[in-house]
Amino acid sequence: MTDSLYLLPAVDIQGGQAVQLTQGIAGSEKVFGDPLAAALRWQDAGAQWLHLVDLDAAFGRGSNAERIAEITARLSLNVELSGGIRDDASLERALATGCRRVNIGTAALENPAWCERIIAEHGDRIGIAIDVRGSRLAARGWVREGGDWAEAVRRLSDAGCRTFVVTDVQSDGMLTGPNLDLLRRVCALTDAEVIASGGIASLDDLRALRTLVPLGVTGAIIGTALYVGNFTLAEALDVAGR
């Protein structure tokens, strides 16, 4: 068993542009330009995975699926796609972009039976996004509040979910450090791989996450810290053991 983390640089797409939100709040975005250029930059720097988010789909105001398919076709790395996947049609559209895995968020709260069915059908191409605010799940666009996150992890783990992407909403985009306690608690409930998302600000944060690899944390999504230059992806990959 390796003690290394795999890293997923994040590219959030809104209106065809790469942006970064603060705590998932619409209107808080900083614009970083062409998402393909960003994706190729992370690929060239050594990334083996990319975390793509369709923010327009997530907020229910459109889709960047065609743009995402164009980006995915130009990449040789694995793409994890999130945003607005709530039913068979949006799932089919997301899988058709050529991504390796899709993350299901809001639907996991609103329709767990559907999530169980698609996990059975698609196996490890389905990941479940566990977005947590306090002890509760944050729902659509992180605006509403859902049920108990531990119950969702148990149920979907029992259904065969292989990957949980865990975000502490209050730390996302804030550069305040990952919620290590939350990650430990999720790992204690499942044998699935757990990917940390939100709050990573420094190389020391990655070192701390790496201590959780034996518990089940296998990867980390990094966004804001890369875009504002807190460290380079090469430095991060070195610390992560990749």
Alpha helices in 25-146 (DSSP H): 35-44, 55-58, 65-73, 88-95, 106-110, 112-122
The tokens for 72 are 């995915």
* Residues 10-20, mean pLDDT to the nearest whole number: 90
Inter-residue contact 192 to 164 (CB < 8 Å): yes
* Residues 163-184, mean pLDDT to the nearest whole number: 86
User: Which among 128, 152, 121, 33 is positioned nearest to 80, based on CA atoms?
Assistant: 128
Q: What is the C-alpha to C-alpha distance for residues 13 and 16, in angstroms, rounded to an integer?
A: 6
Inter-residue contact 152 to 137 (CB < 8 Å): yes
pLDDT of residue 197: 93
* Residues 107-134, mean pLDDT to the nearest whole number: 89
Q: Average pLDDT, whole number, for the chain?
A: 89
* Degrees to nearest 5, angle at CA 197 with 196 and 202: 90
Q: Is residue 1 part of a domain?
A: no
**Residues labelled as active-site residues:** 12, 131
Q: Which domain holds residue 93?
A: 6-240
**pTM (predicted TM-score):** 0.90
In sequence order, the 6+-apart residues with CB closer than 8 A to the CB of 135 are 148, 149
Q: What is the C-alpha to C-alpha distance for residues 64 and 58, in angstroms, rounded to an integer?
A: 10
CATH code (residue 202): 3.20.20.70
Question: What is the tally of structural domains in the chain?
Answer: 1
Q: Is residue 190 part of a domain?
A: yes
